[in-house]
Structure 1
Amino acid sequence: MRVCKQHQSVIHFIFVSAFLIFTLISQVHAQGKVIGIISVDWEGRILDEKNLEAMEAFREDYPHIGLLHFLNAAYYTKTNANPYKVTRKIKQVLRNNDEHGLHIHAWRSLVEYANVTFRRSPNWSYPGPISLNSCYTSGDCGANVPISAYTTDELKDIISVSKQILINNGFKQPVSFRAGGWMAEPNVITALSAEGFLFDSSATAPALLKGRRWSNRLYNWLNGLWTTITPVSQPYLIGPAYSPLWEIPDNGILADYITGPEMLAVLKQNIEKWRKNPQQTIYVSIGFHQETADKYLHRIRDAVDLFENYTEEQQVPFEWIQLPLSSATF
């Protein structure tokens, strides 16, 4: 009898969720617009003032834009990390209209903090395993090991610990996620679903990355993982049938690899898609890394100006948001 009730509860949850999703999508589609998302990948490596100052200047110049921050708990697990200072530095660039998501690179300090055995391979920078000497000389290592190298159960532990660290330090409960290097294999998606996430933004258009890095290893992996993702790919349901989540493609990639005018070219492709059915809502995702903001954030500035000027000239309904369907209750 207990099993039957559980099944009824699950079926009820699925139907209610499906109804809410259908209702929200119908409402969004009725508006008919193009939506821009600007994300920030916090790599968990270091919090340099020059990058934080570049971000603060951007927030002052574009106060109307909320950002989708993919925060990394590894800042807190480094040796001798000061939680108060880490939190203060991160929060100095956050604003009330921001979304707090989760970003995970497989840093050794974070993996071992979650009581998971650290893996030194594979990695997207070099063909061989990571040297343990680099872990000691750099203070941490493992950022270029795809998190999909870990099992689903191990990932659930790493994700759960990461969430709790962020919440304990005053950040919002994350419901959105991006894998380090966009490497979200099916086991990552399964772990995210089990941990209650609603959105993933790891899918990316590999074509935009081709030839943009010193090594093609990551591009080759992504080209096999996200084969069907293009610069005009739109949100879709992904993951296990019992607990799917929305995949929000990072279809405009990140500023380290693409310029403002190139981002505008992605926007134009998506506007052409929108024009074929003006009742639909089209999403364009661009972003940058906190760790390289001083070097590349100017490209996002260029893109924002180009996006806003072009959509105004073309009379395309356009707005910036932090997360699609962020008001949804699942």
Structure 2
Amino acid sequence: MRFRSSSYLLLTALSLLAAPACGPDEGGEPPLVIDPVRPNPPAENDPAFTVTGIPRYVLAGDGLTNPTKAFTIQVAAPKDVVFLDAWIDGAAEPVPLVFNADDNESQGEIPTLELPVGTHGLMLSVRGSKEAFFRAEFVKGHALYMVISTDWDFSDVDDRVLDHHTELHTAHPELKITHLLGPYTFTDPAVSQQRRDHIVSWAQGMRDTYGDEIGLHIHPYCNFIEAAGVACKTSPSVSDPAGDPTGYTVRLGAYSREEWKTLFGKANEIWNQVGFGKPTSFRAGAWTLETHVAQALVDTGFLVDSSANNWKLMDEWFGYDIYEFNKTQWATIGDTSQPYRPTEDSIVAGGKGPALGLLEVPDNGCMVDYWAVEEIKNIFDANWSGGALSAPTQVSTGFHPATTPYYSPAEFERLDELFTYTDQFLASKFEGPVIYINMTDATKIW
């Protein structure tokens, strides 16, 4: 014996009570038939019914994001059509919709928690009808996380650029930005205390108003290196074979693990002094992370790095050390590279040692300096083609806040166009899998 759901039995009984009376025949009243009848799919949707609320995409859920438990649909039906049912996939029983006489509409909550990842069908029918009047499909899958970050290569930036952050947030309300600030803002004698205070206030405002993250980005400028009590090195430089007297373009690997423990410790100290709190996210200047530098990150309490770079986008640097280093170090990183856990012996995926205790989030979209809009759209599309994602997926990109001309209005426009594209697929609107997150949030997923 199969038991009918209580809600279906109740609404079926109500439908019978509301139905027009029928005269008795010799056998008395006709029997009450309460078993649901599964309708056939419609040849086409009936335009007499207006259906809203059908999602394109619902979430499977993970360590950061809750699964979609249900979605609500509304149906405006022709006059006198009251009792409607929703059928999910091949279910033997429907979900009854509830009629509201005030607006002559029916509404139903469609459960999705127990549905597997994949494409699902939904049919709507008038109760007892042999053919449904509406059919649609929706997808259940995992999220596509957008990790948007900024690399502060310089000690100061134009207020015009700071304002662009607010403009992006205003135009794209769900946007999150991980601000990877440089500690040299606080050690460069060319930056006044008043200006430092302004940048601190601005960054805290981004965090408190929009939920952004304040992380860390380091190019080994001598003013910061020496402030930490470490002797500054001027080579190897990623752009100048003769060396860089400022330290800016020097590879991070030029310094030892112990030296980086001191340097990261100094950055932690600065962050606490100015009220940022402990930084937990990092990207190496010029993406020049090496295993011993990653080990020092773990030694000093960092949780996530995003230095693994989609180097193929950097063809502007062909012939320079920055291109050759990235091509060699991040040889396996491409458009669809996903987060992984490095090992003690290898920051590159596939090491044999014990886990390092750091999540690597590949910068698979590089930075806006290096892509045209169609290129980054293609990277997004390569990670999600419109179907159900079988696992959480991420796309990372960002920009370099700087003084003119290093950050241009054209870069802002390209970012705005990218976010306008990805906003079409927001999970919050059931239009797709897109969720913007801060970098450290990724550690709850992978």
Give the shorter-chain TM-score range. 0.7 to 0.9
In 1, the alpha carbon distance for the partners of 2:327 and 2:261 equals 26
| 1:156 pairs with 2:261 | yes
Q: CA deviation at 1:239?
A: 3.6
Cα offsets for 1:72-96 (capped at 9, x unmatched): 1101101153344213135325232
Higher normalized strand content (fraction of residues): 2
2:360 pairs with one of 238, 247, 257: 247
Task: Specify the SS of the correspondent of 2:381.
Answer: helix
Task: Specify the SS of the correspondent of 1:38.
Answer: strand
Partner of 2:374: 261
| 1:70 pairs with 2:180 | yes
| 1:123 pairs with 2:237 | yes
| Residues 58-67 or 188-197, more deviating | 58-67
CA RMSD of aligned residues (A): 2.8
| 1:33 pairs with 2:137 | no
In 2, the alpha carbon distance for the partners of 1:308 and 1:26 equals 18
1:3-22 → structure 2 map (5 Å cutoff): none
1:102 pairs with one of 216, 229, 245: 216
Change (3 A) 1:63 1:95: farther
In 1, the alpha carbon distance for the partners of 2:431 and 2:339 equals 24
Partner of 2:287: 182
Task: Specify the SS of the correspondent of 1:37.
Answer: strand
Partner of 2:332: 228
| 1:316 pairs with 2:421 | no
Contact 1:47–1:89 (CA under 8 A) maintained in structure 2:
no
Cα offsets for 1:149-190 (capped at 9, x unmatched): 101111111111012112211113111110000110111111
In 2, the alpha carbon distance for the partners of 1:186 and 1:62 equals 36
Task: Specify the SS of the correspondent of 1:128.
Answer: coil
| 1:45 pairs with 2:155 | yes
| 1:60 pairs with 2:170 | yes
2:392 pairs with one of 271, 281, 294: 281
Letter in 2 for 1:226: W
Aligned length: 295
Contact 2:359–2:443 (CA under 8 A) maintained in structure 1:
no
| 1:218 pairs with 2:218 | no
Task: Specify the SS of the correspondent of 1:278.
Answer: coil
1:198-217 → structure 2 map (5 Å cutoff): 198-209=303-314, 211-213=315-317, 216-217=320-321
Partner of 1:24: 63
Contact 1:182–1:203 (CA under 8 A) maintained in structure 2:
yes
Change (3 A) 1:80 1:255: closer
Q: CA deviation at 1:56?
A: 3.0
Cα offsets for 1:1-29 (capped at 9, x unmatched): xxxxxxxxxxxxxxxxxxxxxx8389899
In 1, the alpha carbon distance for the partners of 2:230 and 2:311 equals 30
Structure 1: any 5+ residue segments left out of the alignment? 1-22, 133-140
Task: Specify the SS of the correspondent of 1:237.
Answer: coil
Larger radius of gyration: 2
Structure 2: any 5+ residue segments left out of the alignment? 1-61, 68-115, 118-140, 345-353
In 1, the alpha carbon distance for the partners of 2:369 and 2:207 equals 23
In 2, the alpha carbon distance for the partners of 1:186 and 1:228 equals 16
Contact 1:114–1:157 (CA under 8 A) maintained in structure 2:
yes
| 1:301 pairs with 2:416 | yes
| Residues 80-89 or 220-229, more deviating | 80-89
Q: Identity, % of aligned pairs? A: 27
In 2, the alpha carbon distance for the partners of 1:301 and 1:26 equals 25
In 2, the alpha carbon distance for the partners of 1:246 and 1:101 equals 14
Task: Specify the SS of the correspondent of 2:384.
Answer: helix
Contact 1:83–1:169 (CA under 8 A) maintained in structure 2:
no
Contact 1:35–1:320 (CA under 8 A) maintained in structure 2:
yes
Task: Specify the SS of the correspondent of 1:236.
Answer: coil
Change (3 A) 1:316 1:215: same
Partner of 1:237: 341
In 2, the alpha carbon distance for the partners of 1:174 and 1:107 equals 19
Cα offsets for 1:7-66 (capped at 9, x unmatched): xxxxxxxxxxxxxxxx83898998612111110111133222232232332233233212
Bigger relative CO (Cα 8 Å, ≥ 6 apart):
1
Partner of 2:87: none
Task: Specify the SS of the correspondent of 2:173.
Answer: coil
